[in-house]
Amino acid sequence: MTMMKTLMGAAAGLAVSATGALADPAIIFDLGGKFDRSFNEAAYNGAQLWADETGGSYREIELQSDAQREQAMRRMAEAGANPIVMAGFSQATPLSVVAPDYPDTTFVIIDGVVDAPNVRSVVFSEHEGSYLVGMLAAMASETGTVSFVGGQDIPLISRFACGYAQGAAAVNPDITVISNMTGTTGAAWNDPVRGGELTRGQIAQGSDVVFAAAGGTGLGVLQVAADEGILSIGVDSNQNYLHPGSVLTSMLKRVDVAVHDAFTTGPEVETGVHVFGLAEEGVGFALDEFNAELITEDMIAAVNTARAAIIAGEISVHNFTEDGTCPVQLQ
């Protein structure tokens, strides 16, 4: 079977290189897995949307371990895939090594910045989207305490936490924001048991709205929030449907749009750094039939006002990754 696959893969590779210009795009998913209901799944949805629209096909690899990153990129590039989208900040370092070796291939990295002429770096203003859901959390909270569960303890996730805390503090200056990280290694993206335990601890400390920015770990957070009857906020993909009536909203990060754009434009996609913020609709919050009863007109109005103010530059949301500090105290 494996042999067969290898042979067919090789044959497909030959076919692609023979036709040249008709190279298929490719996508490499990060460790959380394609169906993490969150970041990677958003990337997958974007790729799938492109495939449905154009009838084209794309190549994909789901990484199983950190050691595979460079090898996976090289394999895709050797097979003639172009452009190659890499989902996840962890891919930045190996990409900076690989990209110069394949100058004719266009790489797209999401959530990371690689300075090379053939790389398009897509970053999102997570702090702005988190600010909006932080406002919603503070408006929905009855206890005056809201909380945050992050995945791996990295600056990118602190950016979520800090934006969330700023939004909550904008609504209620006296609010307490509890923040916990699941772990310090990649395994923290896939540990729903620990995520659930952290959430229980936060509920015990008074939190009644929890925001999970933790990939697969977040599923455990949302589960416990639903079991305990508090509100939760999903991340990256729209997760409102997971526990209708318990998920207050989801902080959308339009990874799907970024992937779809890259696939649609093809190898000629513009390289350099591209920031997807509120103005570009790269981040936002989800509103659908599953959370319609949880969010009032007033809440929507307040958030939309803030959204317009951020786009106009009247409110400036501090970005944690710029200086490693947060203006709002996190517990």
| Least CB distance to another protein at residue 35 (A) | 4
Q: Which residue, 105 or 207, is less far from another protein as judged by CB?
A: 207
Q: Does 72 participate in binding another protein (rule CB under 8 A)? A: no
Q: Does 23 participate in binding another protein (rule CB under 8 A)? A: no
| Interface region with another protein, contact rule CB under 8 A, candidates 16-24, 78-86, 89-97, 192-200 | 192-200
**Selected binder of another protein within 27, 28, 33, 162 (CB under 8 A):** 33
**Selected binder of another protein within 22, 193, 292, 309 (CB under 8 A):** 193
- As separate numbers, helices (DSSP H) first and strands (DSSP E) second, the chain gives 11, 12
* Distance of alpha carbon 296 from alpha carbon 314, whole angstroms: 25
| Least CB distance to another protein at residue 58 (A) | 16
* Distance of alpha carbon 132 from alpha carbon 235, whole angstroms: 12
Quick note: the x/- pattern for another protein over 154-183, rule CB under 8 A, is --------------------------xx-x
Specify the pairing of strand 26-29 against strand 59-62: parallel
Contact (CB, 8 A) for 206 and 169: no
* Distance of alpha carbon 299 from alpha carbon 307, whole angstroms: 12
Q: Which residue, 33 or 277, is less far from another protein as judged by CB?
A: 33
- From residue 192, alpha-carbon distances to 69, 86, 171, 233 in Å are 24, 25, 30, 15
Number of residues interacting with another protein: please give it, by CB under 8 A.
Answer: 34
Helices 39-54, 255-265: crossing angle, 10 deg rounding = 40
Q: Does 215 participate in binding another protein (rule CB under 8 A)? A: no
**Selected binder of another protein within 197, 241, 280, 295 (CB under 8 A):** 197
| Least CB distance to another protein at residue 154 (A) | 13
Q: Which amino acid is at 204?
A: A
- As given in the structure block, the two tokens for residue 247 are 């998920």
Quick note: the x/- pattern for another protein over 242-281, rule CB under 8 A, is x---------------------------------------
* Distance of alpha carbon 152 from alpha carbon 189, whole angstroms: 6
| Least CB distance to another protein at residue 218 (A) | 12
**Selected binder of another protein within 153, 280, 295, 318 (CB under 8 A):** 153
Strands (E), 125-257: 145-152, 176-183, 209-213, 231-236, 247-253
Cis, bond preceding 94 (omega within 30 deg of 0): no
Q: Which residue, 38 or 125, is less far from another protein as judged by CB?
A: 38
**Selected binder of another protein within 88, 192, 234, 284 (CB under 8 A):** 192
Helix (H) or strand (E) holding 192: helix 192-204
Report residue 254: phi and psi, to 5°. Answer: -80, 65
**Selected binder of another protein within 208, 236, 256, 261 (CB under 8 A):** 208
| Interface region with another protein, contact rule CB under 8 A, candidates 47-55, 80-88, 213-221, 261-269 | 213-221
Q: Does 229 participate in binding another protein (rule CB under 8 A)? A: yes
* Distance of alpha carbon 151 from alpha carbon 66, whole angstroms: 17
In the complex, which residues of this chain contact another protein (CB under 8 A)? 29, 33-36, 40, 62, 64, 153, 180-181, 183-184, 187, 190-194, 196-198, 200-201, 203-204, 208, 216, 219-220, 223, 228-229, 242
